[in-house]
Each structure stands twice: as structure tokens, then as C-alpha cells.
């Protein structure tokens, strides 16, 4: 899902650039791989608890991207339909990341309990 969102954001960057909004386009090019990059980096963590921190950061990135989308929509730089679709994708991603983080934290606590026993 993070990669799909990234592709959509990159497409949005190209549209913004074509409309002459280079600063916003540059920002969305950066945003396009942010969520998936954070997850990729975190997937190399040695513990589930450490990975959970990266998942939390990825969720924060999704929320920052959503805020940027709302800003662009408020400035009428993207259509209402595009805003709605991207915001819904980001809401789903945010919820998925939050659930994943919680499951990683539960697994980490479970592992700690086993080690202590």
C-alpha cells in the first residue's frame, strides 16, 4: 500500500510541475517514497520493538502527507476527487500501520515475558 501511495504521489508531483508549481512538485517527489523507505529501513531492525518505532514513524509520515494533500486541495491545486482518493488511501495506510505497530509491540512484550520466565 505504501508503494502504491508513493506512485500516486509521484504522479501528483508531475501534474503539479506541469502546472508550474515546482516547489510543491519537489516536495511530493520527496514524499513519494518516504513511507515505504521508512518501512524498508525498519524491517532490518533486530527486534520487533525497534521495528515498531519505524512503523510509527511511517505512520507519522503518512499523516504529514495527508496534511500536505489537504493544503493543496485548500489552494485548489488538486481536484476534490483526487484529494478524496488520496486521503482515503492515507487513512487506510495509517490504520494498517497502527495495527501493525500494535502487533509488533505485543509480540515484543510476549518475547520479553518468555525470556524472563
pLDDT tens string 9-41: 999 999 999 999 999 999 889 889 999 999 999
- CATH annotation of 2-116: 1.20.1440
Which of left, alpha, beta for 45 (phi over 0: left; psi -120 to 50: alpha)?
beta
Domain ranges of the chain: 2-116
Neighbours of 99 (CB within 10 A): 11
Structural contact between residues 13 and 29, judged by C-beta atoms closer than 8 angstroms: yes
Quote the cell numbers at residue 111.
518475547
Query: What pTM, to 2 d.p., does this model score?
Result: 0.87
Q: Is 55 exposed, middle or buried (0-12, 13-18, 19+ CB in 10 A)?
A: buried
CA dist 86 and 29 (Å) reads 15
- The pLDDT > 70 percentage for the chain reads 95
Amino acid at each position: 500500500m505504501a508503494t502504491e501511495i508513493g506512485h500516486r504521489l509521484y504522479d501528483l508531483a508531475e501534474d503539479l510541475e506541469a502546472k508550474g508549481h515546482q516547489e510543491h512538485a519537489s516536495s511530493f517527489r520527496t514524499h513519494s517514497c518516504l513511507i515505504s523507505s521508512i518501512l524498508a529501513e525498519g524491517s532490518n531492525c533486530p527486534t520487533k520493538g525497534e521495528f515498531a518505532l519505524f512503523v510509527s514513524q511511517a505512520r507519522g509520515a503518512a499523516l504529514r502527507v495527508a496534511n500536505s494533500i489537504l493544503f493543496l486541495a485548500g489552494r485548489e491545486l488538486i481536484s476534490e476527487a483526487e484529494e478524496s482518493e488520496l486521503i482515503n488511501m492515507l487513512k487506510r495506510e495509517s490504520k494498517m500501520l497502527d495495527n501493525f505497530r500494535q502487533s509488533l509491540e505485543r509480540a515484543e512484550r510476549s518475547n520479553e515475558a518468555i525470556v524472563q520466565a
